[in-house]
């Protein structure tokens, strides 16, 4: 990882792929990832870890399947939300968004349980930032 400050704006400008996060830094055993998103991701769950989202630009929607039923949280720019471990969720960004996520290193973007992975979703544990 870099021993210099990292501009999130520059990091996001260094790639175009949607739903394909880049690792900007690591904190202990956690990746800090940025991604450009638009359209829908897929229903998935992370069985052993929470998933933290910060919306850097645009608006992110996260549909949740909870014991009380389904609901969707809407996150405008500057908002944060944590999906609890084991909760099925489906992020989407109808008009596009830039997001920052914090997850344990090696956590797959499609979780431990998921629907079929559509072609536009990158099933990865994050890519190295080339900025």
pLDDT digits (tens, 9 = 90+) for 38-54: 999 999 999 999 999 99
pLDDT for residue 104 is more than 60: yes
Q: What is the pTM of this model?
A: 0.93
* Mean pLDDT score, 95-114: 93
* Mean pLDDT score, 104-122: 88
Q: What is the distance between the alpha carbons of residues 2 and 64, in angstroms, rounded to a whole number?
A: 35
DSSP state at residue 116: P
DSSP state at residue 112: S
Output the CA–CA distances (angstroms, integers) from residue 21 to 70, 81, 98, in the order listed.
26, 17, 10
CATH topology of domain 8-118: Jelly Rolls (2.60.120)
When pLDDT is cut at 50, 70 and 90, the band that residue 1 belongs to is low
pLDDT of the residue at 117:
86
Delimit the domains of the chain by residue range. Answer: 8-118
Structure tokens at 76: 């405008």
When pLDDT is cut at 50, 70 and 90, the band that residue 131 belongs to is low
- Helical H segments across the chain, by residue range: 8-13
């Amino acid at each position: 990882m870099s021993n210099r400050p990292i501009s999130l704006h520059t990091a996001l400008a260094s790639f175009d792929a949607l739903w394909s996060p880049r690792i900007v830094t690591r904190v202990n055993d956690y990746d800090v990832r940025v991604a450009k998103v638009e359209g829908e991701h897929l229903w998935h769950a992370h069985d052993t870890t929470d998933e933290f989202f910060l919306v850097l630009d645009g608006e992110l929607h996260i549909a949740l399947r909870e014991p009380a039923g389904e609901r969707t949280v809407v996150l405008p720019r500057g908002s944060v939300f944590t999906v609890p471990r084991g909760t099925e969720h489906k992020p989407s960004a109808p008009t596009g968004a830039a997001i920052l996520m914090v997850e344990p290193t090696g956590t797959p973007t499609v979780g431990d349980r998921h629907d079929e992975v559509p072609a536009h979703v990158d099933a990865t544990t994050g890519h190295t930032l080339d900025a």
